[in-house]
Amino acid sequence: MRVYLLIAAIAGGVTWLITPLVRHLAIAAGAVGKVRARDVHTVPTPRMGGVGMLIGFVVAIVFASRLPFISGAFIGNDEAWIVAIGAVLIVALGVLDDIFDLDWMLKLAGQLLISVFVSWGGIRVVSLPFGSLITASPSLSVAFTALVLVTCINAVNFVDGLDGLAAGIAGIGGIAFAAYSYMLARHSPSYASIATLIDVALVGICVGFLLHNWHPAKLFMGDSGSMLLGYLITCASMVVTGHLDPSTLHTSQYVPVFMPILLPLFVLFLPLLDMVLAIVRRLARGQSPMHPDRQHLHHRMLRIGHSVQGAVLILWAWAALFAFGSLLTIFLTWQDVVAVCAVAACVLLVVTFWPCLRRRRIARRAVRGRVGGRSDVQSAHHARRDGDDVPAGSPVAAGGFTDDSVDGRGDGKER
């Protein structure tokens, strides 16, 4: 475990150190998001943060390949290097988009080609643990793997809407997957695991970049960063689940047979949900699936009344609930897991909708004040004095996020 923590620290440290240089490079290359009236940021902010994360990831992989504890996993196994090469390609595509704002169809075609290359290189889903083992033909396996990769890459890209949101969600997913793959590796002769290595490096680069990307961000990760995160977390899951025979897993090994397929879905549940809702919403309006709108989950959080930081922290909490809630099935019974998750979900629901509940309370207080002879202004001043929100329409109404206010995009681009 200490070796993996060291690798995560190296990935995070390199990312943190190199990101300021990447910021200057982005400015020189013209990868700077324009300021719009609805943006939180008041000055143009450079993108291309994915370059710094890529450097941190590659350095961590190269360093790990030289460690006695991990080096054995590289013998006769090119998975880590295939993932690294694919990461370079996906970031290169993202950099082109950050600079030239590529057409979405061209970007999608590039993602598909890179996914096929990675799949042919050996990172693929060979079997699916649905009841009995389902083994796909090589061509079908490549096609399915490419589809999953493109879907997850764009899911994380869609959720990259606020400073720190995508990096935090990917980091949380990386921690959950690292824990799971590490427990699987404990039943092998060696604890060394390529999947765990990828996950801890992913967590490291997320933490290192977050130090520059927390609101107000000094640098956006851009498409180069969001696509990299979606790519890495999906590749890590495929390294674990793609070759896993569920018949070898049972509760006596603390790994339920359904976990290989359940955990990836729960880890990426929030990004996938946001993407599916966006696509359905846009198609229902007769629009392109990539047509930008202001109905993403993070936009809704801002309209409810949360600050940018508050919205990010709450969405992180939901992501953690889905990711770590699924991991609890390794240690607890289904009944206990449902009970724990239900309590946590109820708490998060209250926190999520607290601004709405508070506004209703203030509105009722204002109505009682008017009935008692107090004016709207007096009620509003009492609310302001108590630190509460003020009823909409009040002469001294508190500021909040509305449909026409800022969106806090994490990369300065709409999707």
Query: d(Cα 254, Cα 263) in Å, to the nearest integer?
Result: 14
The answer, yes or no, to whether residue 249 has pLDDT greater than 90, is no
Give per-residue pLDDT as tens, 11-57.
999 999 999 999 999 999 999 977 654 455 667 889 999 999 999 99
pLDDT tens-place string over residues 266-316: 888 999 999 999 999 999 999 988 887 888 898 899 999 999 999 999 999
Distances (CA, A) of 258 to 52, 133, 145, 249, 326: 36, 11, 19, 9, 10
pLDDT at 247: 54
| pLDDT given at position 370 | 74
In sequence order, the 6+-apart residues with CB closer than 8 A to the CB of 244 are: 127, 129, 184, 260
Band (253; pLDDT cuts 50, 70, 90): very low
- pTM for the model: 0.84
ω into residue 216 within 30 of 0, thus cis? yes
Is 50 exceeded by the pLDDT of residue 66? yes
The yes-or-no verdict on residue 258 having pLDDT over 60 is: no
- Residue 115, pLDDT score: 96
Contact 259, 328 (CB under 8 A): no
Beta strands 127-130 and 45-46: pairing type?
Answer: unpaired
DSSP-assigned letters across all residues of 218-249: SS--HHHHHHHHHHHHHHHHHHHHTT--GGG-
| Contact present, 12 and 205 (Cβ < 8 Å) | yes
Query: Distance between CA atoms of 76 and 302, rounded to whole angstroms?
Result: 50
Give the model's pLDDT for residue 38: 45
CB atoms within 10 A of CB 161: 29
Give CA–CA dist 5/207, Å, rounded: 13
The residue ranges of every structural domain in the chain are 2-297
Alpha carbon distance 411, 399 (integer Å): 24
67-85 average pLDDT score: 91
Which of residues 126 and 8 earns the better pLDDT score?
Answer: 8
SS3 204: helix
N-terminal to C-terminal alpha carbon distance within the chain: 39
- Residues 288, 292, 294, 295: is their CA dihedral positive or negative? positive
To 5 degrees, how large is the angle CA 168–CA 235–CA 190? 100
Q: Check residue 274 and give its pLDDT.
A: 93
154 is in an annotated binding site: no
Report the distance separating Cα 227 and Cα 48, nearest Å: 11
The answer to the question of whether 157 is labelled as a binding residue is yes
